[in-house]
Structure 1
Amino acid sequence: MGLLTREYPPDVYGGAGVHVEFLARELRPLVDLDVHCWGEGRTDGVTRHRSWSALDGANDALRTFSTDLSIAAAAEGRELVHSHTWYANLAGHFAKLLYGIPHVLTAHSLEPLRPWKAEQLGGGYALSSWAERTAVEGADAVIAVSGAMREDILSCYAALDPRRVHVVHNGIDTALYRPDHGTDALVRAGVDPDRPYVLFVGRITRQKGVPHLLRAVRDIDPAAQVVLCAGAPDTPEIDREFRDLFEELSRARDGVHWIPRMLPRPEVVQLLTHASVFVCPSVYEPLGIVNLEAMACGTPVVASRVGGIPEVVADGTTGVLVDVDPSDEVFEAGLARALDSVLGDPATARRMGEAGRERAVGEFGWDAVARRTVRLYEEILKEA
């Protein structure tokens, strides 16, 4: 079968890329797998595709479509294709039509619920929305990464038969994501290992709620550091907004650290392990793998009560959930209160971290995710 994706190691920058990386690893012993992703060159079992050079400088949506054409052409001979995100969904749809094979689609987010993407893509947002709708409505099976995501899919795409939408949660490798009590990564980043800190790890996007976080942490416990492992801004506008808020925060309190690059996984694990609390202020999140990563490292989580996050973070047990109020000020005040409540009660924070690790190990292993996915492939192929 063919696994179609934009992100694949070493070019992983978001949760969908993490999902594909570990799903592919677990699928290889179970199926004959070819991965098709963005990039250049070919290695064993992985073919990378780039957009048509004549479109260099064109709208990103058009360049995506040309990459999808290349991926679809290379999928010849596969029995089934499985695409991830709108960047590869159209390739899966083309392959389905061209070769008469089933197309399974995993929805990691939905374009209708991300209107801020118009800021990034301009008119390309209309194209990305069309591509997603076409692929979702034409797919033989749609995988939702959470129960909340399934409801969103059926709400956005009413023409879709609910029987074709299946929930398979994201997973976590708890052998890779586990407590690491070394401090060398903290020292390199300038973080004081002897002071508590709040940690954010994610992209600088509207979806991830980073501006809300930068305003929320202005008045939290002054003893706490704030560590932002944040990069890959969607647009120059959100980049400028982030930088302005970061500079303002740095003037208001000490111990504010920004790590603007993607760190190697072992360094992220160490940062997660030592954090007093991990914060996920997303305004939209189908599941949120990063919360699982924090939990697997034994760290309590403060997160927005949106999308699939409540299916991962058990409120009051593995962390604290905060309602995304229509008022930014109320949401940000809620984040601040939740962060202070965890920072101010180390014993409860420790119990939450231990419960988070136990929950990650017991309920979200990638081996189980892969087996459920293969069973779905087998059901679809029987029906084909």
Structure 2
Amino acid sequence: MKIAYCIRQDWDSPSNKGGDTTQLLKTMENVLNYDNSVSILVLTDPNLLDESFDIAHIFNFATLDISKAFYERAKSLGIKIAFSTIFWNYSYGYRLLGKHFDNNFFRTIDRYFFLSLGKIINKPVVLSSKFKAQSIKFIKGADVLLPNSIEEYYQLCHFTNLDPEKYINKVSVVFNAADVKNNVYIEKSEFLKKYDLPDKPYILQVGRIQLIKGQLNVVKALMDVDIPIVFVGFKAEQHYFQKIKEISKKRGNVFFVDYVDNKEVCNFYKYASLHVLASLRESPGLVSLEALLNNCKVVTSNQKYLPFDTYFNKIATAVDPVDINSIKNGILNEIKTERNFDAIKNIIVSKFSWEKVGIDTYKAYKKIL
């Protein structure tokens, strides 16, 4: 079995590594561990996809142009297509009128403002009519769909107005995962000195600094709360970072750490009060799983913004990421909540391990060959 792992060109650059990068690498590692006779090549150029491949495994609906190019190339060559959808509909993340009036008219107004915002900040708009039309082709044309949760699949169908029952036979849910086997721990004083951090518990957020991740709202929510905030991640959107920096100066006690190798991130979880991810879209947010595996409490967005029920029900606190008071109350409540991390880690290891990802993905490949 020869498989092409098809992904965006900058997937492995330090500034643009994301959940799709981790998912690709860990899936590949564990598929190969399960069956070492499998051959996998990572491709970023659709022209390198040829008839020697049995399957084109394409990662991420949101990277529309490159995913479309790989999809069309695979179709033209008659190669089976597996699609890791990595999708969540965040068109109402900037709820304006729709925050108070839940009907189609106001949702349409919301979507207009959201799409306009996407153009203003010069970022790809993944909720346009073009994206919707191509997503429909992906769903209809793929041989197997590999969402990270069943909620993700229903989100896709709702967004594209497709009947979920019609394509459910194509779906093989492959949960996202986390592990701690590559963790490299640093002595506390050395760690704090290396990253210039305070010697007291802090609120942590790991991930690229960009509008969708909600760092600005975290600072706003904690303006009058006397606890340090630590952001770890590449500054992907400079304009957004400047806004965070300005409000952080007014608040004080906010620390920014640029990109950190994943094997050292465990140290940030270890000394944090909790990890917060008030994001507008995740599937489900690998850093939240990693935090829990590292005995770090978690506050994350509610089920409107990610598959909370599948991954975090009863083991983390859910908040509304566009509601400052919700974020503040969620953080303060979670700090006071007792968590049984032995039980939590047992849940994650049994349901959300990369070994299981490898096995489930391999079985999905076999199903379509």
Match of 1:320 among 307, 317, 324: 317
SS in 2 for 1:13: coil
Whether 2:171 is the aligned partner of 1:165: answer yes
Q: Distance in 1 between matches of 2:150 and 2:359?
A: 19
Aligned residues: 330
Does structure 1 retain, via aligned residues, the 8 Å contact 2:299–2:316?
Answer: yes
Whether 2:216 is the aligned partner of 1:211: answer yes
Does structure 2 retain, via aligned residues, the 8 Å contact 1:207–1:285?
Answer: no
Q: Which residue of structure 1 lines up, in the alignment, with residue 41 of structure 2?
A: 35
Q: Distance in 1 between matches of 2:28 and 2:345?
A: 24
Amino acid at match of 1:298: N
With over 3 angstroms needed to count, the CA separation of the structure-2 counterparts of 1:75 and 1:274, relative to structure 1, is: farther
* Alignment RMSD: 2.7
Q: Distance in 2 between matches of 1:126 and 1:96?
A: 23
Does structure 1 retain, via aligned residues, the 8 Å contact 2:300–2:318?
Answer: yes
Identity value in percent: 19
SS in 2 for 1:169: coil
Q: Compute the displacement of 1:81 (Å).
A: 0.9
SS in 2 for 1:231: coil
SS in 1 for 2:276: strand
SS in 2 for 1:321: strand
Q: Which residue of structure 2 lines up, in the alignment, with residue 92 of structure 1?
A: 70
Structure 1 unaligned spans of 5+: 39-69
Does structure 1 retain, via aligned residues, the 8 Å contact 2:145–2:171?
Answer: yes
Q: Distance in 1 between matches of 2:124 and 2:349?
A: 41
Amino acid at match of 2:23: H
Match of 1:135 among 133, 138, 147: 138
Question: Which structure has more RCO (C-alpha within 8 Å, separation ≥ 6)?
Answer: 2
Whether 2:346 is the aligned partner of 1:358: answer yes
With over 3 angstroms needed to count, the CA separation of the structure-2 counterparts of 1:112 and 1:73, relative to structure 1, is: farther
Q: Which residue of structure 1 lines up, in the alignment, with residue 234 of structure 2?
A: 231
Structure 2 unaligned spans of 5+: 94-114
Q: Distance in 2 between matches of 1:89 and 1:272?
A: 34
Query: Where does 1:223-372 land on structure 2 (aligned, <5 Å)?
Result: 224-234=227-237, 239-253=238-252, 255-259=253-257, 261-306=258-303, 307-315=306-314, 318-324=315-321, 328=322, 331-343=323-335, 345=336, 348-349=337-338, 351-372=339-360
Amino acid at match of 1:281: A
SS in 1 for 2:58: strand
Q: Distance in 2 between matches of 1:183 and 1:281?
A: 29
String of CA shifts for 1:212-242, please: whole Å, max 9, x gaps: 212112122x1x21001132424xxxx3243
Q: Which residue of structure 1 lines up, in the alignment, with residue 56 of structure 2?
A: 81
Q: Distance in 2 between matches of 1:244 and 1:78?
A: 47
Q: Compute the displacement of 1:258 (Å).
A: 1.0
TM-score, with length taken from structure 1: 0.77
Q: Compute the displacement of 1:144 (Å).
A: 0.9
Query: Where does 1:46-195 land on structure 2 (aligned, <5 Å)?
Result: 70-86=45-61, 87=63, 88-110=66-88, 113=91, 115=115, 117-118=118-119, 119-121=121-123, 128-157=131-160, 158=162, 161-176=167-182, 182-192=188-198, 194-195=199-200
Does structure 2 retain, via aligned residues, the 8 Å contact 1:179–1:273?
Answer: no
With over 3 angstroms needed to count, the CA separation of the structure-2 counterparts of 1:208 and 1:14, relative to structure 1, is: same
SS in 2 for 1:266: helix
SS in 2 for 1:137: helix
Q: Compute the displacement of 1:353 (Å).
A: 4.1
Q: Distance in 1 between matches of 2:209 and 2:201?
A: 23
Does structure 1 retain, via aligned residues, the 8 Å contact 2:206–2:232?
Answer: yes
TM-score, with length taken from structure 2: 0.80
String of CA shifts for 1:32-54, please: whole Å, max 9, x gaps: 2333344xxxxxxxxxxxxxxxx
With over 3 angstroms needed to count, the CA separation of the structure-2 counterparts of 1:84 and 1:272, relative to structure 1, is: same
